[in-house]
Chains A and B, each alone.
Chain A
Amino acid sequence: MKTIGKKLLLILLKLCLFAVAGLALLFVVYFFNLDMKLTAAMEPVLTWFYDNRVKRDQHL
């Protein structure tokens, strides 16, 4: 029983550590604006796609 309890505690501890690490990582992304820096890098790719790969029926 004690061993199962210890194992559960260990798993819980590891999960907590992962969560904290994950949150910390997310906070870094948030604070240093990495999400916007990434999406800003995606914009020219999308624009190229729209200009060259999308067929449009352009007319009035």
Chain B
Amino acid sequence: MERRRFLQRTAGAACAAATTGAVPAHVHVHVPKRHTVRVLGTHVTLQEPLRRRAEADLGIHLEFEPGGSAAVLHKATTRPESFDLYEQWSNSIDVLWQAGAIQPIETDRIANWSEVNGLTKTGRITPKANLGAGDAPCKLLNVQPDGTLGPEPTGRVSFLPYVHNVDSFAYNADVVPRGREYEEESWGWLLDERWHGRVALVNAPTIGLFDAALAVQAKGLVEFEDIGNMTRAEIDELFQVLVDLRRAGHFRGVWSSVPRSVELMARGETVVQSMFSPGVSAACGRGIPCVYAAPREGYRAWHGVMCLSSRTTGAVRDAAYEYVNWWLSGWPGAFIARQGYYISNPERSRPHLAPEEWDYWYRGLPAAHDLTGTDGKVSVRKGEVRSGGSYERRFENVAVWNTVMDHYEYTLVRWRDFLLA
């Protein structure tokens, strides 16, 4: 904001000088360079309204380069010089950190760091909440003195905690009978014989693998010692089940983008599948009674990370810090709340939301009236209740976090076996 005001002031002064002729010709007016920050990430956060608003608020130039999760991760790990900020998921942190693609973020330079809630800092949204298997963000947040990532705060973090949510599977209520949240709805539905040939998974081993593992475990087919970090034998067992099911035609296939997931359900090719929140909203918007399940086994949670490229320095890094701070300034959190995502410092966004919006999105109360999304269209009908309930309740029921396991490479190989079975 300071820069913005400065720019406004200097622009006004320059304009005044030009019109009045009061400034001598030999006097040079200093106009700060409008730095460009290149942001590599996914469509979840790299949205044009956010870019325009941030540019207007910060007076910087933003270049968004959205892409698929795998593609952007690959680019980030191999070409850190190609971006300044990286926006993706916490399960990419290990890879990025190990590759040296990102640098620590100084928490002192994050104005609202103290407002970041316990979910990221401690792993629990409430004291009674499940920590969740796998790499909870708190385990990856802090840069430890030895250069590793760990839970102990050090004033340096590997990522800015900001957007997060829980995922599960969705089902078409026209075909699949509705179940009660946290009681009947189960990951096991993904393997239900009744939906043979109409089941899909997300094509990402760090995500879809856990959907499949939760389903297999819910059906009692495989028991995992630690579902967040499976042994090689457990992986083999899991994929034996999955390969057999795929060969039997149980799975329609996999999807690699949200629009693909919506199309699968819209065309009736699937009735139960892994799904992301925007996909569920889009399907509902197309008239499909798409229900986002609240599985009794718990959610698969994910946490967005905003990382600073290891190659970004100087004024661009300063500009990047401004953008990082902007995300926790309130308005962006309110913006993404209307898309179903949570921000790590919710209270900062609350003033930017109508009470009815706050009640629906964060408190899990019925919508007092129709709520509009960020596109201006009605996204929530009056009386609707958010699947899974309030922010706290949803994050109290985390079964596993999206994680890059120790045998990640092996899961890639087996995942291929599954896909091409």
Instruction: Tell whether A pairs with B.
Output: no
Residues of chain B at the chain A interface (Cβ within 8 Å): none
